[in-house]
Amino acid sequence: MQTITVNLTSASDERSYPIYIGNGILNQPGLVLRHLPRKRVAIVSNTTVAPLYLESFRGMLESHGVTSVPIILPDGEKYKNWETLNLIFDALLAHRCERHTLVVALGGGVVGDLAGFAAATYLRGVPFIQVPTTLLAQVDSSVGGKTGINHPLGKNMIGAFYQPRVVLIDTSTLDTLPDKELRAGIAEIIKYGLIRDSAFLEWLESNMPKLLARDREILIEAVRRSCLHKAEIVEADEHESGVRALLNLGHTFGHAIENAMGYGRWLHGEAVAAGTILAAELSRRLHMIGEADVERIRKIYLRAGLPVVAPNLGPEKYLHLMGLDKKVEAGKMRFVLLKRIGEAVVRSDVPSEVLRNMLSECTADA
């Protein structure tokens, strides 16, 4: 097992936490027990993940005297909303869960974002832990404390920064993950290479067939290196006033795609992949990177089996949806662009004509 620490120590409080990564570690009671304030937890999962992992996890806790309230949500991005959040509150209240009841998020990014937001707001905050079961959640969403829900007008627009007590990454849960979901997770892994680690991108280029074949060592290494990047960024800028925004490479376009197509039609990772090609193309048109760089980025996404052509929503629709992005400041859109492979920057001076032309020329009818 490997341990990475997200260091959030300050003079006034201590919110640092470990990320444990290993195969089969969900059955190691000590990793959870040492973080429990009381021997009672509420486990939030969904109708797909619960039949796979809930009973054995509950059983493991029960054998150590921990009682649990299971809260099973409907599965899907389209349920990442107020109604589903309320289902969690209903269950927590109906079971009289108190301040020391710890919330466990057992599932992918949707369960993690919902359960984390519920924990951030229930009784003004109860402790929670992340047990991510998708590759995307293991390399990105479970670390860093972003929690929240979608709004019909914009993705992830309602939420809170709220850090977990521990992130428990059991890579054996990926054995049951559909290929399409595995590929969506790879999109976020590639992102770390593009924004801050060209050597990691090269490693991914060499190891893509093994990653897709779920080679255990390669998977663990990809998760470990991704979590190291995520932890470093979150430590430097927990509330996204600076460098954390770089994690949104491709996301401004991607969130617009997810919203316009209907939440759940394009997987988050798929929308990020196609969105990153648009960000790369915009970077090229602003003379920041060259055509060969764009080709290289397109190639790695293609090799990962991810979409590289964004849908043609029309420039106006993109601009409208991107105007609701969380990075908008003083009414100005801000874009994460590539200075080179391995280095990203935020720019708010993209000429509207360059953006519109790029959106017309680089998208295609679905």
**113: contact with ligand GLY by CB under 6 A:** no
**250: contact with ligand NAD by CB under 6 A:** no
Give which of ligand GLY, ligand NAD, none residue 336 binds (C-beta under 5 to 8 Å, depending on kind). Answer: none
Is there a catalytic annotation at residue 240? Answer: yes
**140: contact with ligand GLY by CB under 6 A:** yes
Q: Measured at CB, which residue is nearest to ligand NAD?
A: 109
Give which of ligand GLY, ligand NAD, none residue 244 binds (C-beta under 5 to 8 Å, depending on kind). Answer: ligand GLY
Minimal distance in Å, beta carbon 299 to ligand NAD? Answer: 23
Near ligand NAD in 111-130, by CB under 6 A: 111, 113
Piece in contact with ligand NAD (CB under 6 A), picked from 102-110, 194-202, 346-354, 356-364: 102-110
Q: Which is nearer to ligand GLY, 7 or 172 (CB)?
A: 7
SS (H, E, C) the chain: CEEEEECCECCCCECCEEEEEECCHHHCHHHHHCCCCCCEEEEEEECCCHHHHHHHHHHHHHCCCCEEEEEEECCCHHHCCHHHHHHHHHHHHHCCCCCCCEEEEEECHHHHHHHHHHHHHHHHCCCEEEEECCHHHHHHHCCCCEEEEEECCEEEEEEEECCCCCEEEEHHHHHHCCHHHHHHHHHHHHHHHHHHCHHHHHHHHHHHHHHHCCCHHHHHHHHHHHHHHHHHHHHHCCCCCCHHHHHHCCHHHHHHHHHHHCCCCCCHHHHHHHHHHHHHHHHHHCCCCCHHHHHHHHHHHHHCCCCCCEECCCHHHHHHHHCCCCCCECCECCEEEEEECCEEEEECCCCHHHHHHHHHHCEECC
Near ligand GLY in 31-90, by CB under 6 A: none
Minimal distance in Å, beta carbon 326 to ligand NAD? Answer: 12
232-261 mask for ligand GLY (x: CB under 6 A)? ------------x--x--------------
Report the interface residues with ligand NAD, using CB under 6 A: 46, 48-49, 52, 75, 77, 80, 107-111, 113, 133-134, 136-137, 140-141, 144, 146, 156, 173, 176-177, 181, 184, 268-269
**Which residues in this chain contact ligand GLY in the complex, by CB under 6 A?**
140, 144, 146, 244, 247
List the catalytic residues: 124, 146, 188, 230, 240, 244, 248, 251, 255, 268
